[in-house]
Structure 1
Amino acid sequence: MPKEEKNTTEHDHGDRTDLAHADTNASFPQRDDIANLSEDHRQYLFRKHGTLDLHPVPSMSDADPYNWPRWKKNTNLLLVAFHALIATFTPATIVPAFGDIAEDLNVTIQKASYLTALQIAILGCGPLLWRPLSSRYGRRPMFIASLVGSFCFNIGSAKAQSYDALAACSAFTTFFICPAGAIGSAVVVETFFKNERAKCMGIWTLMFTLGVPTAPLIFGFVAYRVGYRWIYWILAMINAFQLILYIFLGPETRFNRHNTTPQTQLSTFKESYFRFRRIDRTPLTILEFISPLRLVKYPCVLIPAVAYAMTYLCASTIIIIELPALFKAKFGFNPEQLGLQYIGIIIGSLIGEQLGGRLSDYWMKRARSKSANNTVLPEHRLWLAYPGYLFCMAGTVIFFVRTEQAPQGQWNVTPIVGAGVASVGKQMLTTVLITYAVDCYHEEAASIGVFVTFVRQMWNFIGPFWFPQMFRAVGLIGSAGVAVGLMVASAFLPTVVLQCVKGRWRFAMRGGD
């Protein structure tokens, strides 16, 4: 942001005693970005925020999202977080209805599960397209286009009469609904100051994660009571409701702070809600659509991404996707009963988020306090990955072993307890591994988010194609052993290597850049 010239006379001799008093008693250091502001700009910020200790420094405009009132910021965050939930929620809604879909469309249950596998892949690839477009044309137009498209294709899914038609409509629905999973983090950065971002990012991340286990719980009832096609009708209604809320309560957060001219309230309203235009005039190139994939050359990003993707696959996706087929065959459950099995996963995810987020922050803060120069290597955070791995391995083993040992037709809660334990570990690793990668290259935070999502979704896309074959070949107990072996080889051991090299790869790559 260009810095305005400081009006020395007005600053030193003016009669603005309220700001002078605030400056005298402020606890923040006199930073250059504050000292170089004009007196009018300083007065404006103090009236808006009651302080000048702001990171980053907002412009002198009511249209700047940093200057929005608290209710407006929080409302927009909730809209984006809920949109992120619906992005992962949508592919998972039909999980308890695989049997009904297979019977209605005359396909196997495994082939019905490919509908979700296809959507998982698109959730990974779609953000590569949406992020550059949202940078040029704004977040609000992308969200509105997202909801219009997903609304139309959810209706198409509800009316599809063949497997191919349903697969095509589901694919387009997922492509349109996925932007919040790509640019939600950017909205948080553009709206909230640095000291607020961790908490707000946590809200967005948790909602994004909870979409997968929440969907089967809710729509198991729908599929059983009124039929699986009503799943798509209800999703279309949700999209329409979101669209209405965005139109009236979801302003644009992509703001050009190079223009420091004060604006009237009318122009502010138009700027935030009704001005659809190209915001960034930088030429759009093909390379920008695949730019996050270049992070594959950074071991401190690639290893956490692969470790996270493998543990997510073996401790979450394999349970969520295969639970309906396993429990339908073992216990004869209907879609409603299948949906209830996901309560354990939801509880585990909530517990894991608290452990991963709060414990991780405490762990690093404690290390800094004991450090001579108040610094700590990012690799110190990885110590908390090991409990996450152990939870994932133990929970996966419990789920498969107890499902195998359960007598035919006699359900017990222990497999669900195992699924919950695995979810605790998975959610802990989500925070620890992604935060570690961002700690290493914080200037690449946005691209790291897209890259990690891409790697995770590609692994999870492949899984449903070989899960059933593995179950038939080695049984459920043998499959638990395979899953643990994959997590040890692809996640646990590479994390040990990262800690052993103590950042040498990170520094080497920085030097190479």
Structure 2
Amino acid sequence: MRLHTLKELDQTEGTVQLRQPASGGATASELVLVPHPSDTDPNDPLRWPPWKKHVAFTSVCAFTFLTNYAIGGLAPAFYLLSLEFNKTMTETSELLLWPILVLGVFNFFWVPMANYFGKRPVFVFASLLLCVCYVWGAAATSFNSLLWSNIVAAFAGSSTEALGAAIVNDLYFLHERGAKMGIYMNAISGGNTIGPLICGFVVQSLGWRWHKWIAVIFTAINFVAVALFVPETRYDRTVSSNLAPTMSDSAVSSSDEETSMEKTVTPNSKEVSESPERRATRMQVPKKTFVQELSLSSGTPADTNLFKMFVRPFPLLAYPAITYAFLGYSVALAWVVAVNILNSFILQAPPYNWQPQINGLINIPGLLGNIFGAWAGGSLVDRYCAWRAVKNNGIFQPETRLVLLMVPTLLVPAGCLLFGYGVENTMSWVALFFGYGLVSVGLTAVPTITMAYASDLYLPINGDALLLINGLKNIVAFGFLYGVVPWVTKVGYIDSFGTQAGLFVAIIGLGLPLYLFGGRIRHRTAQWRIIL
């Protein structure tokens, strides 16, 4: 079994020419399309029309959203469920804890299957299974039945954790990556904020089962969308890169978001004038029809096997950026879910005595924090990187993304301290809401930045890299959350949330060496022969 170095797969080591001076001495710069789309294959996802990309991406984001909507969204009903099924606070929290573990662990099943058989069959099967599980949960008559419906639903939904992020790299260019990753992270986090917000009112008016039935309706609609509008996005770019890059970039589908002052060029060619007739004669690959794209079979790789696909990701943990990304995502996730688990037992019990629908309103600041974090870690980072690239003669350095991690590093610890002190001292609900909003910034900002950074560095193996980040983060978060209720009960909210604030700063601070010495670290690790 021959091992490869990252250098053999990607000569750039993450440093690429993102912009170059405009022709004719104009002040505006030309945007370089990275990675280079195929010149001869219209089936390359990077060359799809923008509407087709956006519909496929939106369908996958909706799948991700609905996974967390029905599972995490049940949190406002935890207090009532504990009374209905005669369960303790710790036992009731297992409705969320075990699915979190499953959402991480089964990334290690779905991603190799998708790499081998294709992403489309995985999404179609898993979205159907998710719908069936929500029917099961809505009809559950015992606590164990409800718990297992959530666990199996998490198994189905785990298919989107890493693969959804990987689709960003399949469909969009480097300059779009941060913004689209931010949208995807909002889909994940939005399920855990919009879900409880809606669930609180549904539980109070119709009962917790209707929360599940509403999820069934939307999941069934989304299954149809996935089956019809999510073609296969797996694409062997090493084959297309061997074809002569002579096609005009005007035939390449780029983002519809670029301004009229910018032109796009490929990394390997200048703009050339070419007639449509000549361009058509060099189209070596026929475009697939809509019916052909509905096929669930796209072939299997000839140079590997399924066992190798399962084993391949684990050596990549040696790369510092991957370890850093999953640790940062772990603490960002765990701190938010800790508040989600605890808040109904705080606000629906004395002295607050809130009703479930009022309790659900705590997710409004959570949603606002998620949106701000996704914007700061996505679109704002993309703009900052573009500005830095212009200042650096058009050269993009991946470590540029890490600068804006200062935003969650300041806000999340402040939110932890405010929430902990607020609960311990029975402060106004405003303090609790504001604290939760600040903590929620980290859930989207940190993974949006770090996963885009990892994709910049390890694009040829980004599927396996994102698998490790998304899979391991849930396992680490589960380990913390499994003990959070006993921990808070023993030491109190001030000490526990104060410790969380310190841990967050310490772990995000590990990115400082990556920022200061990123170029050297990338060059050294690119020589490691660890890729299967």
> 5 Å matches for 1:222-241?
222-241=202-221
Specify the alignment match of 1:437 in structure 2.
454
Which structure 2 residues correspond to residues 341-490 of structure 1 after superposition, within 5 A?
341-371=362-392, 375=395, 378-406=398-426, 411-490=428-507
Among 515, 519, 523, the residue aligned to 1:507: 523
Partner in structure 1 of residue 143 of structure 2: 163
Coordinate RMSD, CA, aligned: 3.1
- C-alpha distance in structure 2 between counterparts of 1:509 and 1:224, whole Å: 55
Contact residue 322 and residue 465 of structure 2 kept, 8 A: yes
For the Cα contact (< 8 Å) 2:111–2:463, is it kept in 1? no
2:312 counterpart of 1:296: no
Match of 1:21 in 2: none
Q: Residue in 2 aligned with 1:40?
A: none
The answer as to whether partners of 1:187 and 1:253 remain within 8 angstroms in 2 is yes
List aligned pairs for 1:32-181, cutoff 5 A: 56-58=36-38, 63-181=43-161
CA distance in 2, matches of 1:456, 1:62: 37
* Closer, same or farther: CA 183–434 of 1 in aligned 2, 3 Å: closer
Distance 1:225 1:431, change over 3 A: same
Q: Answer 1 or 2: higher relative contact order, Cα 8 Å, separation at least 6.
A: 2
Write the distance in 2 (CA, Å) between the matches of 1:307 and 1:252. Answer: 31
The match for 2:343 is: 323
Instruction: Note the C-alpha offset of 1:64.
Output: 4.8
2:328 is equivalent to residue 307 of structure 1: yes
1-structure distance, mates of 2:504, 2:180: 30
Indicate the SS of the match to 2:492.
helix
The CA distance in 2 between the partners of 1:249 and 1:502, in whole Å, is 39
1:462 Cα offset (Å): 1.9
Q: Could you tell me whether the CA contact under 8 Å between 2:175 and 2:382 is conserved in 1? A: no
Counterpart among 147, 164, 178 of residue 184 in structure 1:
164
Maintained 8 Å contact 1:311/1:389:
no
Distance 2:34 2:518 in 1: 34
Taking the aligned partners of 1:298 and 1:54, their CA distance within structure 2 comes to 22
Residue-by-residue CA offset, 1:305-354 (whole Å, 9 max, x unaligned)? 2133224323x222122111122224122221121111001011111222
Give the superposition deviation at 1:370.
4.1
> What is the distance in 1 between the residues matched to 2:213 and 2:398?
46
- Residue equivalent to 1:496: 512
Give per-residue Cα distances to partners, 1:398-450, cap 9 Å, x unaligned: 1121222226xxx5312101111222244332333333333443433322222
**1:36 — aligned with what?**
none
Q: By how many angstroms is 1:172 displaced? A: 1.0
Instruction: Check whether the contact 1:253–1:272 (CA below 8 A) recurs between aligned residues.
Output: no
Partner of 2:306: 285
Distance 1:262 1:507 in 2: 36
Q: Structure 1's 73 and 437: CA in aligned 2 closer, same or farther, altered over 3 A?
A: closer
Preserved contact between residue 325 and residue 451 of structure 2 (Cα < 8 Å): yes
Counterpart contact for 1:308–1:491, Cα < 8 Å: no
Offset, 1:175: 0.7
Match of 1:244 in 2: 224
Could you state the TM-score of these two structures normalised by the residue count of structure 1? 0.80
Measured in 2, the distance between the counterparts of 1:367 and 1:306 equals: 27
Whole-angstrom distance in 2 between the partners of 1:440 and 1:195: 14
Deviation at 1:66, TM superposition (A): 4.4
Contact 1:137 1:279 in 2 (8 A): yes
Partner of 2:199: 219
The one-letter code matched in structure 2 to 1:268 is T
Secondary structure of 1:93's counterpart equals helix
d(CA) in 2 for partners of 1:458, 1:331: 33
SS of match in other structure, 1:253? coil
Do the aligned partners of 1:97 and 1:228 also contact (CA within 8 Å) in 2?
yes
Q: 1: CA distance between counterparts of 2:505 and 2:47?
A: 48
Question: Larger C-alpha radius of gyration, 1 or 2?
Answer: 1
State the Cα distance separating 1:79 from its structure 2 match: 0.8
Q: Deviations over 1:349-390 (max 9, x none)?
A: 11122222243234434444444x654654454332233212
The corresponding residue for 2:252 is none
**Matching of residue 339 in structure 1 with residue 360 in structure 2:** yes
Structure 2 unaligned spans of 5+: 1-21, 25-31, 241-282
Cα distance change, pair 163–284 in 1 and its aligned pair in 2 (3 A):
farther
For structure 1, the 5+ residue unaligned runs are 1-26, 30-51
Partner SS state of residue 154, structure 1: helix
How far is 1:394 from its partner?
0.4
Preserved contact between residue 113 and residue 464 of structure 1 (Cα < 8 Å): no
TM-score by length of 2: 0.77
Counterpart residue identity of residue 135, structure 2: I
Residue 190 of structure 1, CA deviation: 3.3
Range that drifts further, 237-246 or 268-277: 268-277
Task: Assess, with a 3 A threshold, how the Cα gap between structure 1 residues 90 and 447 changes in structure 2: closer, same or farther.
Answer: farther
| 8 Å CA contact retained: 1:137, 1:278 | yes
* Partner secondary structure for residue 348 of structure 2: helix
Residue 153 of structure 1: CA displacement? Answer: 1.8
Relative to structure 1, the CA distance from residue 269 to residue 279 in structure 2 (aligned partners, 3 Å threshold; closer, same or farther) is farther
Q: Return closer, same or farther for 1:253/1:374 CA change in 2, 3 Å cut-off.
A: closer
Contact 1:63 1:268 in 2 (8 A): no
- Tell me how far 1:124 sits from its aligned partner: 0.9
State the SS of the aligned residue for 2:378: helix
Contact 1:300 1:506 survives alignment (8 Å): no
CA 1:245–1:478: 2 relative to 1, 3 Å: same
Distance 1:431 1:28, change over 3 A: farther
Of stretches 192-201 and 417-426 in structure 1, the one that deviates more from structure 2 is 192-201
Is contact 1:157-1:166 (8 Å) kept?
A: yes
Q: Specify the SS of the correspondent of 1:332.
A: coil
Deviation, structure 1 residue 113: 0.8
Residue 94 of structure 1 aligns with an amino acid whose one-letter code is L
Residue 106 of structure 1 aligns to a residue in which SS? coil
Determine what percentage of the aligned residue pairs are the same residue: 25
Kindly tell me the number of residue pairs found equivalent between the two proteins. 459
Rate the CA distance shift 1:412–1:165 in 2: closer, same or farther, 3 A: closer
Deviation at 1:488, TM superposition (A): 3.4
Give the SS at the match of 2:232: coil
- Which amino acid is 1:338 matched to? N
* Most deviating of 92-101 and 434-443: 434-443
How far is 1:62 from its partner?
5.7
